[in-house]
Amino acid sequence: MKKILVFVFAVVLFTSCSEYQKALNKGTPEQQYAMATKLYEAKKYSKALNLFEKITAAYRGKPQMERIQYMIAQSNFNTKNYDLAGYYFNRFAQNYPKSSKNEEAAFLSAYSYKLASPAFSLDPTDTKKALEAFQAFIDKYPDSKRLPEANKHYKELRYKLQKKAFEIAKVYYTTAEYDPARNYRAAIVAFDNLLEEYLGSEFKEEALYYRLKAAHDLALKSTNRRKEARIKDAIKAYEKLKRNFPKTKYLEESNKMLANLEKEQKELLKS
């Protein structure tokens, strides 16, 4: 009995493969569309995509194209081609604004880009695409049942970009010994940009502290000609940290830096 079942399965599999190859290589667009749909419904997404690629030109502008474009997007998503899935879901949402699947496609476009986005330390292109796509979804569908999930993803993506910006700024500071004047200035600019771009950042306290450290160290290593202005900038950085975080965990070290700056300031007045 088992041998019979294996034989039947092999025959069905061979027939199915033969039908697929025949449709792929010699089928009409109609036959390819029927086979692609059949494979898609059977969750054989890679083979379905091969056929969808063949028929796209033939069905452009026809009613079936709406379904084809959605299945292409979903097939890419299910085969973990998330960057392509994001692109095709976005195209579907733009091309078929009145479709009953428009909201779902807009959400899945953003979610696909999120799944395609790498670790925070790598290229943030897809992370930014996902963030923009989720923001567009939130703005367009404020009453969507997917809104809580969209907000959650948006927050996670924003955190990832903040972390990248913070780590870049911190690298400038920690490598300043190799080029103090350039890297301290670069760190100050990078921390300022982070704080300006991400109001209420989770990294705000630490960014303000490192911004103070960079300004403090730059001032102390400066020539007398530039020291006065840089001391004033560093003192302002100290005041900003204290204003935003009166009980900051960096209070003791910040107070020491302030004392250094005030001492240098007095020395300058004497000279």
Q: What residues in the chain have per-residue pLDDT under 70?
A: 1-17, 26, 119-123, 271
pLDDT score recorded for residue 9: 40
212-235 per-position pLDDT tens digit: 999 999 999 998 889 999 999 999
pLDDT at 6: 41
Q: Where in the chain is the domain with CATH 1.25.40.10?
A: 82-174, 178-271
User: What is the reported pLDDT for 27?
Assistant: 74
For residue 28, the model assigns a pLDDT of: 85
3-class secondary structure, 207: helix
Q: What is the DSSP string of 55-114?
A: HHHHHTTSTHHHHHHHHHHHHHHHTT-HHHHHHHHHHHHHH-TTSTTHHHHHHHHHHHHH
Measured CA to CA, the distance from residue 9 to residue 15 in angstroms comes to: 10
* pLDDT value for 119: 64
Is the pTM for the entire model greater than 0.95? no
Rounded CA-CA distance 147/138 in Å is: 7
The class that CATH gives domain 82-174 is mainly alpha
* Predicted local confidence at residue 122, as pLDDT: 61
Give the distance between the most distant pair of CA atoms in the chain.
104
Q: 102 to each of 36, 61, 82, 180, 242, how far by Cα in Å? A: 22, 18, 18, 53, 48
Tell me, what's the pLDDT at 17?
A: 61
Q: How high is the pLDDT of residue 4?
A: 44
**pLDDT tens-digit map of 116-145:** 987 655 667 888 999 999 999 999 999 999
178-271: CATH, from 3.40.640.10, 1.25.40.10, 1.25.40.20, 3.30.230.10: 1.25.40.10
In angstroms, the CA 151 to CA 15 distance is 48
* pLDDT value for 173: 95
Instruction: HSE, CB side, 13 Å, CA atoms: give it for residue 120.
Output: 13
